[in-house]
């Protein structure tokens, strides 16, 4: 099984960026935890972080016939990227949307995800654990 993990704009700054909201764990540490979990079950991860919307769209197109599921933290693009929404809607794959913070407990503009209607599910507010929960959901999806 292969899974694409996408991290959107500014997530390369995790650990330094507003740690009171996003925590102290770096993106490298989060990716390492995901790799460790995936290795236990022999799953492969393709991990991409980009600050550019088009790179994320291209990665989703690439994923269509190469992976069995996608984990995406679209970061700020969550709230307005119709391009990402359309790319996700075009995929014949389960996509899990992850947010470190609880976007529904924050500013008004963060309380709306334009992606939520086209993803399989959303995990929000559990910090880095959210990525592992998303991975677990994709790995065990067929068992439920």
Question: Which residues are near ligand DQA by CB under 6 A?
Answer: 10, 73, 75-76, 78, 99-101, 103, 110
Tell me the residue ranges of DSSP E strands in the chain. Answer: 2-7, 44-49, 69-73, 95-99, 121-124
At its nearest, how many Å lie between ligand DQA and the CB of residue 21?
7
CA 30 and chain centroid, separation = 12
- Minimum CB distance to ligand DQA smaller for 69 or for 130: 130
The residue (of 57 and 124) whose beta carbon lies closer to ligand DQA is 124
**Other residues' Cβ atoms within 10 Å of the Cβ of residue 16:** 10
The region that residue 13 occupies, defined by phi over 0 for left and psi between -120 and 50 for alpha, beta otherwise, is alpha
Residue 75 or 138: the one with the smaller Cβ distance to ligand DQA is 75
96 CB-contact burial (10 Å; exposed 0-12 / middle 13-18 / buried 19+):
buried
Question: Active site includes 104?
Answer: no
The Cα-based distances of 110 to 55, 79, 88, 101, 113 in angstroms read 22, 6, 19, 10, 7
Smallest distance, ligand DQA to C-beta of residue 142, A: 27
CB nearer to ligand DQA: pick between 69 and 74:
74
Catalytic residue among 7, 52, 80, 99: 99
CB of 106 to ligand DQA, least distance (A): 7
Name the minimum Å distance from CB 42 to ligand DQA: 28
Residues labelled catalytic: 22, 99
């Amino acid at each position: 099984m292969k899974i694409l993990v996408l991290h959107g704009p500014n997530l390369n700054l995790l650990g330094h960026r507003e740690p009171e909201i996003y925590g102290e764990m770096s993106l490298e540490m989060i990716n390492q935890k995901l790799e460790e979990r995936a290795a236990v079950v022999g799953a492969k991860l393709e991990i991409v972080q980009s600050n550019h919307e088009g790179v994320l769209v291209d990665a989703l197109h690439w994923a269509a016939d190469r992976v069995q599921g996608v984990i995406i933290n679209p970061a700020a693009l969550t709230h307005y990227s119709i391009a990402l929404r359309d790319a996700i809607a075009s995929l014949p794959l389960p996509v899990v949307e992850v947010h470190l913070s609880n976007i529904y407990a924050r500013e008004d503009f963060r309380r709306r995800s334009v992606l939520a209607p086209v993803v399989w599910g959303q995990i929000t507010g559990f910090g880095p654990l959210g990525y592992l929960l998303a991975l677990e959901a994709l790995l065990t999806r067929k068992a439920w």
